[in-house]
Amino acid sequence: MKPSAILRLALYRTLAVAVAVLTVLSAVMPAPAFAADSDHQVKTVRVGWLVNNKGFQEGTPGERLSGWGYEYLQTLSYYTKGWQYEYVSGTFSELMDMLEAGEIDLMPNISYSAEREQKLLFSSNPEGTERYYIYARPDRDDLAKGDPQALQGLTIGCNSGVMQTIVGQQWLANEDVTCTYKEIDTGSALFEALADGEVDAVIMNDTISSPDASPMFYVGSSDYYFAVPKSRPDLMNDINAAMTTIARDNPRYNEEVKTSYSTQNSGSSSLTGTETTWLKENGNTITLGYLKNQLPYCTQNDDGEMEGSLASLATTLHDKFDITVKTIALSNNKQMIKALSNGTIDVALPLFRDYWLAEQTGVIQSNSMGTVSLTAIHNGKNLNSDLKNIACTKSTIVNRFELESLFPNATVTEYSNDGEVLKALDEGKARCIIVPSTRLETLRDIYDIEDFETQELTNTAQLSCLISRGKPELLGIINKGIVNAGESLSANSYFPTSYSAQESDAFRLLYRNRIVIAAVVICILLTSIAILVWSLYRAQEER
């Protein structure tokens, strides 16, 4: 073999051995992990996950997770570099032991104490404030009077070794209340025991809530924090920096994320004794008055029944609380307020939540049935200028008084119906109309508004029911109906079976394309006439 061939062979073998060695080394030596599309090394954070804490931490690790505590953890990770969570399940006591031992790295919602500070690091700023209550079933009217002595001799459920239990038991002792305590492992299990009648009341914070429990007595509060082991100051530095950024972006984030989950359904599963009494005195019947022709929110169908997303309130009141619900369709806001004041209806809907306008009208408002965005339909290029001359109808959800409140510098003119409003817009008598954005497609289906400009506004409004003053029991019933109806009240959840109360599908199609259809019909007629004339002319020639 030639020397050059021997040299090449040796070189190839050397390279092959080097590649093999590098391959083996890369397999046995761990490579640093980095976040996708980032130069930052992944930092695995073992976070404690409380089991059975509906509203706060819902779900089982490895499956879909939710809850406001989960959302806060995710938001925190958005502002930290390379954080990746590993969720570790357990009860509060188990997880606290693991945290102090360094077996997990992070726990949210930990109340501060001097004893805990010996073993843990706490975030510089609180994650929020938790309030402690004694909860009972909504129908416990004896406890709803606010007298702590009504708790004498009751069995009260509590979690062992947690701050709310310590504070609650001290409050009961200060009130000279003697009761029996029953320790239960988790927050959700506490509420289950209350619903099943195993205990008369429970001591719990407002971190989670239950439709089967109402807060009866406030017993104290404390701030809560993110906590890590003493051995992980690096994590605490990340947490403090992230929390500062979150607060700078949205100072109300702590309250908003918690409220979205934890309080709305409290005590909503059953009526109180006073609410039940009110219903009995009123024949177990509630009459809802609603505006016609306001799809997707509400209208009257061919059978005279209420249709639209808000009809789910009537359905929920009947199905959940066995209430007979009558509905009356009304043509405009003035009719509806008059019917409310003279007792023809018990509840009016939908109207925008506005405390000032409600006070001037002499009514009270329900909880929000949802937030709607607003869209301007205008006939010019300058929206700010057009918003100074607004037209509306007497029957619109966005009524004249609300428009004058939203746009104090505008002249607002009221017309009888949508057709007159659009005519005024077309003729330049008005420059703009304001509609809920979810009604825009419905209007497009009925009227030709393609020549106008449309633009969504930054303004939003909340829809609510109106009730005559002096009826707190009815207000409570309606609010529970709204909570139980939930997302079904949203305009996006409504799928129409017909538009017959406004226009049939066929008629709407014809109306929208009336110019094209007319042109086609005229062409067909002219062609037919031309053919007829030509045929007559040929027939004469043949004779």
User: What's at 7, amino acid-wise?
Assistant: L
Whether 166 and 293 map to the same domain: the answer is: no
Q: Tell me whether residue 234 is in a domain.
A: no
Whether 435 and 527 map to the same domain: the answer is: no
Pairing type for strands 347-352 and 285-291 reads parallel
| pLDDT tens digits, one per residue of 452-473 | 999 999 988 899 999 999 999 9
CA atoms within 13 A on the CB side of 37: 0
**Diameter of the chain measured on Cα atoms:** 121
Helix (H) or strand (E) holding 466: strand 453-468
| Alpha-carbon span 243 to 125, nearest angstrom | 8
Mean pLDDT of residues grouped by 10 in the chain (543 residues)? 45 45 42 49 92 82 90 93 93 94 96 94 94 93 93 97 94 97 91 95 88 92 96 96 92 83 65 92 98 92 94 96 97 95 97 91 92 93 95 92 92 93 93 92 87 92 93 94 90 60 48 68 80 74 69
Domain residues for 282? Answer: 271-512
Whether 439 and 528 map to the same domain: the answer is: no
Whether 422 and 494 map to the same domain: the answer is: yes
Whether 493 and 525 map to the same domain: the answer is: no
Count structural domains, the chain: 3
User: What's at 426, amino acid-wise?
Assistant: D
pLDDT value at position 522? 82
3-state secondary structure of 79: coil
Q: Tell me whether residue 71 is in a domain.
A: no
What CATH code is carried by the domain that includes residue 172?
3.40.190.10
Tokens at 529, concatenated: 């006439």
Whether 150 and 218 map to the same domain: the answer is: yes
| Alpha-carbon span 184 to 162, nearest angstrom | 12
Whether 300 and 435 map to the same domain: the answer is: yes
| Alpha-carbon span 430 to 389, nearest angstrom | 6
Total-model pTM: 0.70
3-state secondary structure of 336: helix
Helix (H) or strand (E) holding 311: helix 311-321
* 37 burial type by CB count under 10 A (0-12 exposed, 13-18 middle, 19+ buried): exposed
Whether 281 and 196 map to the same domain: the answer is: no
CA angle 403/407/413 to nearest 5° reads 50
pLDDT value at position 30? 42
pLDDT value at position 19? 44
Whether 371 and 482 map to the same domain: the answer is: yes
Query: Whose structure tokens read 């609410």?
Result: 275
| Alpha-carbon span 543 to 532, nearest angstrom | 17
Whether 395 and 448 map to the same domain: the answer is: yes
Can you name the residues that pair with 412 across neighbouring β-strands? 390
pLDDT value at position 519? 76
| Alpha-carbon span 96 to 277, nearest angstrom | 47
Residue 203 contacts residue 191 (beta carbons within 8 Å):
no
Whether 172 and 283 map to the same domain: the answer is: no
Please give the distance of CA 155 from its chain centroid, rounded to a whole number. 35
Tokens at 211, concatenated: 């439709």
Pairing type for strands 363-365 and 453-468 reads antiparallel
